[in-house]
Amino acid sequence: MKNTVKIQENSPSFTNRRNFLKISGFGAVSAGLLMAVGCSDDDDASGPITDNQLPGVRNGKFDLGGGDFGVLTYAYALEQLEADFYTRVVTNPGFSSFSTEAKDILNDLHKHEVIHREFFKAALTDALPDPSTQLLPALSFAYAGVNFGSQASVIDTAIVLEDTGVSAYNGAGKIITDSAYLVIAGQIVSVEARHAAAVRDIKANSAATDFASTADANGLDPAQDPSAIIGAVSRLGLITTPFTATFLP
């Protein structure tokens, strides 16, 4: 049965959630972009990596590469996915039927993820020795199991993507060698965690949600290696452009 309860924009809890997203999202990523541009001239900015581990086409497929460039390219691939997903959400005609809260928060998430995607594209374009051949191209995506006209379907998918993003950044942190990039990753993963909380909160308005289920017995979010994340995303059939990650764990 369709939920007819309307959450007004001036509701204290709703306003706090939107401020929570806005303050943590745009400021952190903008600061990270400035930091990346500022440190990109550092000869060691890419971390220890050999020329044959730089991102680029190998055996007919794009390989994400290794070292810090590999991690940044891996993050760029995931941010392309999230930006594409939320773009499809907010531009779908059925989006107008979503609750006021869901529309406003999903619009905010869309803006954040587009910023994340463009940040990685700009940072990699500036830092890679030959971005014309080493920058990951625009990927293609498919969402066979998602009904973009259904708020419930969109929110369930958003929860999976945001939880995956948090786990991916947590797992990639140990691979990063340049401290500036590690700071940026920390800033972005904190935003992704806020996204995960926000979409779970939307679901909780209409169904019971176990917020504690995302943390382990020590109160820590999961951290997965790139190979595990790429495998999980591949099994979902979301990314249709083939690529490899030969040099990432």
Structural domain range at position 172: 12-44+73-244
Residue 1 lies in a domain: no
Residue 51 lies in a domain: no
Q: Provide the residue-wise pLDDT of the chain in tens; the chain has 249 residues.
A: 333 333 233 444 444 444 444 434 444 444 444 444 444 444 444 444 556 799 999 999 999 999 999 999 999 999 999 999 999 999 999 999 999 999 999 999 999 999 999 999 999 999 999 999 999 999 999 998 899 999 999 999 999 999 999 999 999 999 999 988 888 888 899 889 889 889 988 886 554 455 555 666 667 778 899 999 999 898 889 999 999 999 999
Structure letter (DSSP) for residue 52: G
CB 169 within 8 A of CB 192: yes
CATH number at residue 98: 1.20.1260
Asked if residue 206 is part of any domain, the answer here is yes
Residue 62 located in a structural domain: no
The residue to which tokens 């679901």 are assigned: 203
67 domain residue, yes or no = no
What is the sign, positive or negative, of the torsion defined by CA atoms of 140, 146, 150, 155? negative
Contact status, residue 70 vs residue 135, Cβ threshold 8 Å:
no
User: 66 lies in a domain?
Assistant: no
What's phi and psi for 110, nearest 5 deg? -60, -45
Rounded CA separation 234/106 (Å):
24
Count of domains forming the chain: 1
One DSSP character per residue, 50-119 reads: -GGGSSEEETTEEE--SHHHHHHHHHHHHHHHHHHHHHHHHHSGGGGGS-HHHHHHHHHHHHHHHHHHHH
User: Which pTM does this prediction carry?
Assistant: 0.79
Tell me if 64 is assigned to some domain: no
22 inside domain: yes
